[in-house]
Amino acid sequence: MVFNQTEKQERSYLQQIISRLKKIISHTDASVKDHVDTLAAYKDYLWNNKDIDPHEIRSMRESILNHFAIGESVIDKRKRLAKIVDIPYFGRIDFQEKNENCSVIPVYIGIHTFHDSESRTTLIYDWRAPISSMFYDYELGEAFYQSPWGEVKGDISLKRQYRIRDGKMEFMIESALTVHDDILQKELSSNADDKMKNIVATIQREQNLIIRNEESRTLIIQGVAGSGKTSIALHRIAYLLYTFKDSIFSKDILIISPNKVFADYISNVLPELGEETVPETSMEQVLSEVLDHKYKYLSFFEQVNELLTKPVPDFIERIQYKSSFDFISSLDRFILHIENHYFKAEDVKLTQYITVPAEFIEEQFHRFNRYPMRQRFEAMTEYMLDMMKVQYAFTVTTAERNFLKKEIKRMFAGNNDLQVYKDFFEWMGKPEMFKMRKNRTLEYADLAPIAYLHIALEGGTKNSVKHLLIDEMQDYSPIQYKVIQKLFPCRKTILGDASQSVNPYGSSTADMIRKALVTGEVMKLCKSYRSTCEITDFAQKIRINTELEPVARHGEKPHVLQFNNEKEELSAIKDLILTYQASFYKSLGIICKTESQARGMVDKLQITDIHFLSSQSSAFVQGIVITSAHMAKGLEFDEVIIPQIDDKNYHSEIDRSMLYVATTRAMHRLTLTYSGLKRTPFI
């Protein structure tokens, strides 16, 4: 007999679960109060009895720490329970193991496990639990899951999905498919939020494979626009934190994200899944930190902006050269050249009677070749002085020791990173490939190669990071991945879309990343969930991606509007904003090619309640947003307006990339406007 066969029974059961949860929350509140009262009593006792003996103080201190620890765990439990009261679960499968005498188990699946201590049964299973994987991977019939004790085979006899909000069941669907289209369509048709949300109720089979992949040391996810790759990567982090809870914690993970706005936009997902937020940084911060923040440099945003507004051929050539694998090979050969030619040993007169011969010093430099070159000086000094102590029974003073180390360091011509980098281009016969900007500012493309040389000469590894997540993978060059590999020898999840590069002269494909890292499994996400079929078809005409398959969700066709002049175009955009404000949509993105165009649009429109997202912004705000295509990457809006799509504004390959990124931000409605005779040839 099926447990809770009818919808009426399911609704009644839901209220029983919620009542049980509320009862336990009430008990935990009382328990927290007891612990707080006990701690206060201990504190008063210690304050009023200052002459108690040390043994009693020690005993009380242990009791206080114990109460504090138990109190914290009770508070954590309460937080988890409070999270699931509104939506206790979203799915259910009935599973029967193949073994004899095994009954059918109803497995209710939610964001967190709920184990009832009274009945000693698990009433709700965490979506990350091994048994829950079958909900995402199988239809009715034979199924199996990997438990800690091995493979468990059986049959799924029932599969249901629920939409529960604020403790009330809105609807229930009997589902024979992996994740029922009705639920997925309802979620996809909903409006964009100010933060990315968890998608545990609609994870698809191909996404589940990526989330639960434990084998790949480096997992490279190539996902088309709107495939949910960032969300999937964050769910993967949540899964790893759950599965390896004794060995990896939130603080052990690092996310390299494209900008602060995007970092804020995704900041909700892990807390929604019951995990703490993880540290976040940018590629620029990582590289600059390697170089002790010594150098001023053009940011990636500034590089892209310059390519969009003043694409000088020499600048493009420098970026392309430094993004090639030949460039990395040349750097490696130059490092070998440094090893063989940059250390010129000389005699060192240590005292009036003792001179350390050059040949002996040279020999030690090569003896310690397992050390990075600049780290050898300390080891060489210690070794030579130990040898002298044994042979000559001679002990040096601290001053003499420091003098010898200083003299050895002086013999090495590679102590200045920037000078070594300049030497490289001279050695290559390509001095024109290095250009310092005004105020001794480096170009962005030079930051990673200098860091690469620095690590080769100085060493450096971030062993505290156990899992590294890199988003927008296509915008980083092979040399940047080489630096990352040296800095972070840990497991990695790397994700992006080669079609959405805003760095066309220095970008990487999944295969290039695998080559740079010398390892990695590539997994693809080809289904696009964000945009309607009409918007996806339109974007495909700008840049075709043969691997992309849109999920069948229809809406109005994108509108391309032509105007006689800029004044008419601005007036039409104002009308479109009024139409948006009267609609049920929650977010409108007005996406310009560059930041200066976006700033100009804000000034021209003169509309209140408009949020301008610049490269200096640090938070994503819902409502009407005006921004550049670069800053819009990774974000999504109910409606998108792209102004100024004339042939003068969008004409180069990097312009095409920007237009593709802008169009693929739209979920439900897309309008493009221009004034003049000719629109861009890309549409």
Same domain, 394 and 441: no
Same domain, 456 and 488: yes
The pLDDT value recorded for residue 35 is 60
Is residue 225 part of an annotated ligand binding site?
yes
Q: How far apart are CA 188 and CA 388, in angstroms?
A: 76
Count of the separate structural domains present in the chain: 4
Is residue 47's pLDDT more than 50? Answer: yes
3-state secondary structure of 282: coil
Same domain, 263 and 306: yes
Per the CB < 8 A criterion, the answer to whether 543 and 241 are in contact is no
Is residue 393 part of an annotated ligand binding site?
no
* Pairing mode of beta strands 114-116, 105-110: unpaired
**Other CB atoms within 10 Å distance of the CB of residue 226:** 25
What is the average per-residue pLDDT within 369-395?
87
Residue type, 188: L
3-state secondary structure of 534: helix
In a domain, 164, yes or no: no
Contacts 24+ apart (CB under 8 A), 94-102: 94/2, 94/3, 94/156, 94/157, 94/158, 94/159, 95/131, 95/134, 95/143, 95/154, 95/155, 95/156, 95/157, 96/154, 96/155, 96/157, 97/152, 97/153, 97/154, 98/153, 98/154, 98/155, 102/154
In a domain, 154, yes or no: no
The pLDDT value recorded for residue 67 is 61
pLDDT digits (tens, 9 = 90+) for 333-357: 999 999 999 999 999 998 888 888 9
Is residue 227 part of an annotated ligand binding site?
yes
pLDDT digits (tens, 9 = 90+) for 616-658: 998 888 899 999 999 999 899 999 999 999 999 999 999 999 9
In a domain, 425, yes or no: no
Same domain, 556 and 506: no
Q: What is the CATH number of the domain that holds 645?
A: 3.40.50.300
Is residue 251 part of an annotated ligand binding site?
no
Same domain, 470 and 551: no
3-state secondary structure of 361: helix
pLDDT digits (tens, 9 = 90+) for 507-534: 999 999 999 999 899 999 999 989 999 9
Token representation of residue 655: 């312009």
In a domain, 182, yes or no: no
Chain centroid offset of residue 138 CA: 29
Q: How far apart are CA 420 and CA 444, in angstroms?
A: 18
HEC sequence for 145-158: EEECCEEEEEEEEE
What is the average per-residue pLDDT within 570-581?
95
Is residue 2's pLDDT more than 90? Answer: no
pLDDT confidence tier of residue 584, bands split at 50, 70 and 90: very high
Q: Which of 26, 56, 86 is the last residue of a domain?
A: 86
DSSP codes of every residue in 122-150: EEEEETTSGGGHHHHH--SEEEEEEETTE
pLDDT confidence tier of residue 332, bands split at 50, 70 and 90: very high
Is residue 351 part of an annotated ligand binding site?
no
Is residue 236's pLDDT more than 90? Answer: yes
Is residue 181's pLDDT more than 60? Answer: no
Token representation of residue 470: 């890199």
Per the CB < 8 A criterion, the answer to whether 667 and 624 are in contact is no
As a whole number of angstroms, the longest Cα–Cα distance in the chain is 100
Is residue 461 part of an annotated ligand binding site?
no
pLDDT confidence tier of residue 457, bands split at 50, 70 and 90: very high
What is the average per-residue pLDDT within 559-577?
95
Is residue 223 part of an annotated ligand binding site?
yes
pTM: 0.87
Q: List, in sequence order, every beta strand (DSSP E) within 83-217.
A: 91-97, 105-110, 114-116, 121-126, 141-147, 150-165, 168-174
For residue 276, what are the domain limits? Answer: 213-321+433-525
Same domain, 632 and 581: yes
Query: Which of these ranges, 26-30, 440-444, 559-563, 603-607, has the smallest mean pLDDT?
Result: 26-30
